[in-house]
A and B are shown apart, each in its own frame.
Chain A
Amino acid sequence: MILFNYIASFFLIVLGLYCIVVKYNLVKTVIGLSILDYGVNLLIITIGFNPGGTAPIFTQGEITPASYFVDPIPQALTLTSIVIGACVTAMSLALVIKLEEQYGTIDTREIRRLRG
């Protein structure tokens, strides 16, 4: 089950990179970035997962060596990463809107005034 998660996360990462490299539509590039990010998020959450573990919520003194719970640190990292991913999407879409206004197209092959 966990193995399937790892495979899925690497599949998502590769899919995201494929999308960025191959698709000429700016919006699809942004979608590729998001997929890449989801893949990494899935990887993080999978690493922290312990099969059968409880939620890592304990009060002072409640925690014993016998407590079995999932690792809380990757969950915190994932939250941060999701926020950053949302920012990347928002900012890149804002840039796409502005680019469309200036260049009249969202084809990456035509947005290349800076080259050489």
Chain B
Amino acid sequence: MNMLSLQHFPIYSIMVLFLGAFLIVVFGRSKVVRHSVALLATCASMLFMMGLIKPVMLGGEIISYWMGARVPAGGYAIGIALEVDALSLFFGLLVSTVVFVACIYSIQYMSHDDNVPQYYTLFLMLAGGVMGMVLTGDLFNMFIMVEILTFAAVALTAFRNTVTGALEAAFKYLVVGSIGSTCILAGTIVLYAQMHTLNLGQLAALIPGNLTTSTKLAFALLFIGFCTKAFLVPFHPLAADAHGAAPASISVLISGVLTKSGIYGIIRLTYFLFQSMGLGTMQFWLVFLGSVSMFVCVTMALAQHDFKRLLAFHSISQIGYVLAAVGLSTALGISAGVYHAMNHTIFKGLLFLAAGAVLHETGTTDLGKLGGLSKKMPVTTVMFLVGAAAISGIPPFNGFASKWMIYQASYQKAVESNNIGFLAVTICALVTSTLTLASFVKVTQSVFFGQLPKEYENVKEVPFGMRLAMGILAALCIVTGLVPNYVTRFLTEPAAKAVYHVGAYINSAMGAGYAESVMQTVPVAAEPSFVQHGVWSPVSWLCLLMIALLALTVVATSAKYDKVSLGEATDTKYQLFYGGEKNFYSQVGSDDLFWGFKHNWRHYFSFMHELHSGVVNDYALWAVVALALATLYALVVL
């Protein structure tokens, strides 16, 4: 067999990462060797994934690779398989690209730390774990990869163990992450007891016809397991802790890549293994979970005063968008969901890298201490503004394109299913987007603009390698935002179509005709429709918005306005808001920027603050409660 045939590309792209990890353990003492090994490994992994674009994305092939050429015999999958359909490849491409960029960034970002060889080893293990997880076709193999990535992520969270809270965050993540992993293992083995196979394709063929109490329990266990990996509510505090404490290049991976593996797991579980997305309640709960995640996390983010912790909450908020869109169970919804997943990886990566650049130069991420950095770090500022505009859904950046599709998809679903509830999702998504913009206004104002504190007079722009990494992601932000038609046609629509071609996935693993012989009804692979509901083009709406804004500005600046009276608020720090400040250069504190809004919502905010107590027992309890609820749901409804 030809060693360079496409068949081998998936295993190569996983292997080079693990091989790189081991080489760095042995030869990593030398700086040149470890940097070149890490860069080569991540770059090679990315190139192998790109090599598969033509046959899988455009040609619609599904690549099955059996380890040791142990193909299924007698109708049973015995060996371990890698299965790459368009969905796997989509996530694989995403992962490998961001890993490569994070690797470029790491070289200068980590240059002042000790134990750097161990950092690169763990970095490559984490990347390899995620690659393996999205490319594998075997449920137990998936569990192994989940454990590898969880372990590497925990170790990297505690890597800078002198940073406040790094160890604490790592321990909490390890405890709750282990509960999640154990759930995945228990679910896997319960499925094995019923079906006597671990191959995803064969399981997908066997499960829908044989729904027993045990398989339903397995569904609940696997679902909660993948939810912990995606940090969905109620697991979001772990994400916030871990992102805040980890080095920025690792935050990029945890937020951009690790959460995606959880989302990938949920899609595989609900659409492929159990094919349960036809159920109205299933759609409802996924969309509900997504909406709650997006709203709760964005309000949590508003109350934060640490740069990276704030970004972490936004990260889960955006994952909420992805899950809500995927849960709509329409072709447009899935396409919008994976599009937003891709965009989230890019812009959130960019934002974390910008936060890392600020940390690298100033040594702090406290919003209250920073300010005025735009004069000293112009490139970082521009990069951050691109990322902030993208995450807030401002055209022409990529966040707008995918959010627009999510609004469309949820509205369309509401019209099609005649269910007003889905309209609430559209509204929730819009409100969340506004709150996201609000909190990024706060970050921009308190980090990059305003008065420069005296101690940061000598701050310089970050080195070229870090600027390059940010530049790549910023360029991707703009490119994927400017040509949404091409992105959807070549990347997200094939991925969404793959979700509907369960039969092809099964047959690719088990041999042609297997799905038809085992299943009573093979899911029909009807051509999904990606037509958007609105009859108006978004461009003309954009023009209208511009005109309206211009008109408003003209009217507002020409009119006389009254002084605002503050009533009982006599605290002198609020005087700045009506121009009575004593100190000319005094800056509005990051906590004061939206104080009116926060004041009205103070009960909610203090309730949420109390709830996120930081005690690991509470978080573990939430996990157990979520597991209990999921089990109850699965046993009663599924």
Contacts and interface: CB of A to CB of B under 8 A. Distances in A.
Interface of A: 13, 17, 20-24, 26, 29, 33, 36-37, 40, 43-44, 47, 73-74, 77, 80-81, 84, 87-88, 91-92, 95-96, 98-99, 102-103, 108-109, 111-116
A91 B151 contact: yes
Given A113-B165, A113-B614, A114-B165, A74 B174 contact: no
A21 B617 contact: yes
B608 to A, nearest CB: 8
A80 B185 CA distance: 11
Contacts of B612: 115-116
Interface string B109-141: 000000000000000000000000000000010
B98 to A, nearest CB: 25
Interface in B130-181: 140, 144, 147, 151, 154-155, 158, 161, 164-165, 167-171, 174-175, 178-179, 181
Most chain A CB within a 10 A radius of its CB, from B147, B175, B179, B303 = B175
A19 to B, nearest CB: 10
B58 interface: no
A88 B620 CA distance: 16
Contacts of B147: 84
A26 B171 contact: yes
A35 to B, nearest CB: 11
B262 interface: no
A115 B179 contact: no
Contacts of A115: 609, 612-614
Given A43-B189, A87-B151, 8 more contacts: A22-B617, A74-B189, A80-B144, A95-B158, A95-B174, A112-B168, A115-B614, A116-B614
Interface in B186-208: 186, 189, 192-193, 198
Interface of B: 140, 144, 147, 151, 154-155, 158, 161, 164-165, 167-171, 174-175, 178-179, 181-182, 185-186, 189, 192-193, 198, 240-241, 244-245, 303, 309, 608-609, 612-617, 620-621, 624
A99 B175 contact: no
Given A74-B189, A88-B174, A108-B617, A114 B182 contact: no
A73 B147 CA distance: 19
The 9 closest A-B pairs by CB, nearest first: A115-B614, A112-B614, A47-B193, A116-B609, A114-B165, A114-B241, A95-B171, A20-B620, A21-B621
A102 B169 CA distance: 13
A47 B615 contact: no
A113 B192 contact: no
A113 B171 contact: no
B392 to A, nearest CB: 24
Contact of A95 (B170, B185, B309): B170
Contacts of A103: 168
B303 A98 contact: no
Contacts of B241: 114
Contacts of A81: 185
Nearest to A30: B175
A80 B140 CA distance: 10
B186 A99 contact: no
Contacts of A84: 147, 181
Nearest to B608: A116
B175 A91 contact: no
Contact of A99 (B151, B155, B167, B608): B167
Contact of B167 (A24, A73, A102, A116): A102
Nearest to A112: B614
Contacts, number: 108
A46 to B, nearest CB: 9
Contact of A96 (B151, B171, B189, B608): B171
B535 to A, nearest CB: 46
Contacts of B615: 108-109, 112
Given A21-B620, A36-B179, A98-B161, A114 B614 contact: yes
Contacts of B609: 115-116
A98 to B, nearest CB: 5
A74 B192 contact: yes
Given A20-B620, A36-B179, A98 B244 contact: no
B481 to A, nearest CB: 34
Nearest to B174: A92
B189 A40 contact: yes
A91 B245 CA distance: 18
A23 B613 CA distance: 16
A116 B302 CA distance: 11
9 contacts: A17-B179, A24-B617, A74-B189, A77-B192, A87-B151, A95-B171, A96-B171, A113-B168, A114-B614
Nearest to A95: B171
B622 to A, nearest CB: 10
B169 A114 contact: yes
A48 to B, nearest CB: 9
A38 to B, nearest CB: 11
B585 to A, nearest CB: 30
Nearest to B183: A40
A58 to B, nearest CB: 14
B368 to A, nearest CB: 15
Nearest to A92: B174
Given A99-B167, A113-B165, A114-B168, A91 B155 contact: yes
B624 to A, nearest CB: 5
Nearest to A46: B193
Nearest to A78: B189
Nearest to B162: A102
B182 A36 contact: yes
A13 B190 CA distance: 14
Contact of B168 (A29, A47, A99): A99
Contacts of B620: 17, 20-21
A26 B170 CA distance: 13
A33 B244 contact: no
Most chain A CB within a 10 A radius of its CB, from B245, B608, B613, B616 = B616
B25 to A, nearest CB: 16
Nearest to A83: B147
A77 B140 contact: yes
B520 to A, nearest CB: 27
A44 B189 contact: yes
A17 B192 CA distance: 23
Contact of A40 (B140, B161, B186, B616): B186
B617 A20 contact: yes
Most chain B CB within a 10 A radius of its CB, from A44, A47, A84, A99 = A84
B180 to A, nearest CB: 11
Contact of B616 (A13, A29, A43, A91): A29
Given A87-B151, A91-B154, A116-B612, A73 B169 contact: no
